[in-house]
Chain A
Amino acid sequence: MRQEPPILEVKHLYKLFAPHDFRGDRKMAYKLLELGATRKDVLETTGITAAVSDVSFEVKRGELFVLIGLSGSGKSTLVRCLNMLHRPSRGEVLMDGEDITQYSEAQLRELRRTKVSMVFQHGGLLSHRDVLGNVAYGLEIRQVPKEERQARALEILRMVGLEGYEHEALGSLSGGMKQRVGIARALANDPEILLMDEAFSALDPLVKNDLQFELLRIREQTGKTIVFITHDINEAFKLGDRVGILRDGRMVQVDTPERMLEQPADEYVRRFIHNVNASKVLSVRNVMTVPGCIVKQSDGAHVALTNMRTSGVSSAYVVGEAMHLRGIITLEGALGVREGRLTFEEAIIKDVPLVDNPDLPIADIVPLAAKAAFPIAVVDEDHVFRGIVTKASVLSSFVA
C-alpha cells in the first residue's frame, strides 16, 4: 500500500528580498546560495536578502511541527510562504500533493478560506469589532449566512474558553484572551492546517503556559495539523512533535525533541539546546515520581492483578526483599500466570530501563528516555527502588 502523502511538503524553498531599485542578477544570488554562501555574503555581493534559502521539510497530518530560530532567522517569512502571503522566489510548497505556488489568486483565496488559517503574534485582530465579530470574520469572508456563522463562532468560543465574552470589546481583553480570540478566529474556518507565528511570544510566562496547554488540548480535540513558530526552545520542545531549527534562512536540523537533544546536528544546535539545559540543571532525583503500582515478589500474580486494577494501570513494578527492584510485570503477564501459561518468575520483565544513580543530571538520561518503552526505574547504589522517571517528565524538565 502506498503511504499517504504528507499534508504539507516544502521543497527547496527560497525567498529573496531585493531592494526596490534592484538592477542586478538574481541568478547570481541563487548560485552563491547553492554553493553554501551565508546570507551576509549574499547581501554584500548582490544586495539581496536571502530571508529563506533552500528549506525543505514535511509535516505529517495531525502533527505539531515547530519552527524555531533567532530573530531574523526567517521564521515569519517561511511561514508566510506556506499560505502565500509571501510568494516564494523559488521552490515548491505542496499541500496534499498540490503545489500551491502555482495557484491563481482565486485558488489561493479558496485555500485560505478553507484549508489554512493563521494566528498572528499580536493577534491581528479587528479592534472595531467585538469578540464574536472577530471570530466570525473568516466565515463572513466566505459569505456564510449570519445566523450560521454566529452559531459556529459561539461554538468555537466555548472551545477556547471564552464563553460569555462574545460581546466584549477587544480593548477590554487581556493579552492572553486576545490570543484566544486569534486562535478561535483561525479555528472557526475549520482549517486543516493552523499556522501560528509567535502566537504566544508576547505573553507573560504564566499566561503562556496556560495557552500552551490549551493548544495541546485543542489539538487533541480537533486533530489539526499545526505549524508553530517560536524563538523559545523550551516552548518548542514542550509543544513540538518535531522541531525544525532555522539559522540565517537555512534549516539546520529537523528532528524530534528527543533526537535533537541526543544528536544535535552541529555546534550551533548544541548551543541552542544548551540554553535549555542551562535554564535548569536538574538531576534525576528532581523529576522522579512514585510509581503507580508496586507488588512484592512474594505476593504473586493475583495480588499484582488486583493492585493494577485498583490503581488503574497496566503494569506494576515488582520488588523483592528490602525494596530491591526485580522488574516489571504487565497486565498480560499477570493474566498469563493466572491462566497457568507462565510462572510468576517468567512473567517478570527483567530488562527494565534503569538508572542506578538518582543524582545523575537529566541530560544524561535523555537518550535512554527516548528509547525506553517503559518509564525509567531509579534505584540507588544498593539497588533499592526509589522511583520512576517518565519520558514526559524528562522532556518537560527542560521546559521552564
Chain B
Amino acid sequence: MGQWLTSFPGIRLHIAEPIDHFVRYINITYGAFFVSSKKLLGAFISAVNALLDLIPWWLAILAVAAISVRCLKSRRKALLYGGMLFMVGLFGYWEMMCETLSIVITAVLFSLLIGLPIGIALAAVKGADTFLRPLLDAMQTMPTFVYMIPAVMLLGPGKVPAVLATVVYAVVPVIRLTSHGISQVDEEVVEASRAFGASRWQTLVKVQIPQAKPTILTGINQTMMMAVAMVVTSAMIGANGLGMEVLIAINRMESGRGITAGLSIVIIAILLDRLTQGLVQAGKEDPQ
C-alpha cells in the first residue's frame, strides 16, 4: 500500500498512438495531395537553387560589398563581408551554400507569406491573441526534431519536408512581431485616421502597417535567423547542403570538415543578418 505515493500510479493516457494513427490516416487519405504538393514545392526550391547557381561567384561578392558600402556606409565592412563570402568559396562550399540558401530562402518566403497575414489578423481580431499565443509559444519551444517526424511521414525525406519543418519553426517571430507592432501603434494615431473617415483597411494600410514597419522588419529578420538555425537539423531528414556536411563530419569525427562547414553556416547567418539590417536602415533614412 502507499505505492502510488512514492512512484507514479499505473494510470496512463495513451495519446501517442492516436497521433500516430492520425498522421498515418492523413498520409493515406491525402497521399495524392502530398505527392503533388511535394512536387510543386520541390520544383520551387530547385528553381531558387538554379537561380542562385546562375549568379557568378564574383558578382555575389561584389554585390555584398556594394550593399555594405551603400547601406552600412563602411568600406571596412564591405571588405570584411566580401572576404567572408570569399572564404566560403575557399572552403569549397560555394555550391553547397547555394543549395542551403535555396532551402532557407524558400522557407523564409513561405514563412512571410503565411506569417504576415496571420500577424495582421491577430492584431485586428480582439481575443485572437489569447487564443493563439500559447500555440505560438508551443511552436517555438517544441524541440525542432519533433516537426521532422510528421513532415517526413507525410512527404518522405528530402528538401521539401525540411522546408516545411523550417517554416513551422521560423514563422513564429514574424507572426508575433507583426501582431505586436500593429497593436503597439499609438492609439491616438489610429483614432485620428478614423476621425478622417478612413476605413479599417485604409487605416491598416496607410497607418498601422507603416507605423509598425520597424517591428515587422525585426520579426522578418528573426525569422530569417531561425531558418538558418534549422539548417543542420533539417539535414537529418535528407536536406543536402552545408547541414549535411556538418552531419557527415560528426559521423566521421572529422573536426576540420565540421568546423569549415559550420563556419560557412555562421557566415551565411551573419551576412543575411547584417545586410538585411543595412537595407532596412537605408530604407528608413529615405524620406517616406
A74 within 8 A of B: no
B157 shortest CB reach to chain A, Å = 46
Are the CB atoms of B195 and A83 closer together than 8 Å?
yes
A130 within 8 A of B: yes
Known A125-B192, A189-B196; contact A133-B288, beta-carbon cutoff 8 A: yes
A240 shortest CB reach to chain B, Å = 22
Are the CB atoms of B188 and A122 closer together than 8 Å?
yes
Are the CB atoms of A126 and B211 closer together than 8 Å?
yes
- Those of B189-224 within 8 Å (CB) of chain A: 189, 191-199, 202, 206-207, 210-211, 213
A120 within 8 A of B: yes
Assembly CA distance A125 to B190 (angstroms):
9
Assembly CA distance A122 to B207 (angstroms):
16
Mostly helix, strand, loop or mixed at chain B's interface? helix
- Those of B99-126 within 8 Å (CB) of chain A: none
B275 shortest CB reach to chain A, Å = 23
- Those of A82-111 within 8 Å (CB) of chain B: 83, 85, 108-111
Inter-chain CB contacts under 8 Å: number? 70
Known A113-B197, A140-B206; contact A130-B288, beta-carbon cutoff 8 A: yes
Q: Which residues of A contact B287 (CB under 8 A)?
A: 130, 167, 169
- Those of A258-313 within 8 Å (CB) of chain B: none
Q: How many residues of A contact B (CB 8 A)?
A: 32
Are the CB atoms of B197 and A112 closer together than 8 Å?
yes
Are the CB atoms of A118 and B195 closer together than 8 Å?
yes
11 contacts between A and B (CB under 8 A): A109-B197, A112-B195, A112-B197, A114-B197, A124-B192, A125-B189, A126-B210, A130-B287, A138-B197, A141-B193, A141-B196
**With contacts A126-B210, A130-B288 known, what are 4 further pairs, Cβ within 8 A?**
A112-B194, A120-B188, A126-B207, A140-B206
Assembly CA distance A288 to B32 (angstroms):
96
Are the CB atoms of B211 and A128 closer together than 8 Å?
yes
Are the CB atoms of B197 and A126 closer together than 8 Å?
no
A117 within 8 A of B: yes
Q: Which residues of A contact B197 (CB under 8 A)?
A: 108-114, 138, 141-142
Q: Which residues of B contact A110 (CB under 8 A)?
A: 197
Assembly CA distance A108 to B198 (angstroms):
10
Q: Which residues of A contact B288 (CB under 8 A)?
A: 128-130, 133
A100 shortest CB reach to chain B, Å = 13
Are the CB atoms of A118 and B192 closer together than 8 Å?
yes
Are the CB atoms of B198 and A124 closer together than 8 Å?
no
Q: Which residues of A contact B211 (CB under 8 A)?
A: 126-128
The closest CB in chain B to the CB of A128 belongs to B210
B266 shortest CB reach to chain A, Å = 34
Could you say which of A114, A123, A137 has the most chain B C-beta atoms within 10 Å of its C-beta?
A: A137
- Those of B122-160 within 8 Å (CB) of chain A: none
A314 within 8 A of B: no
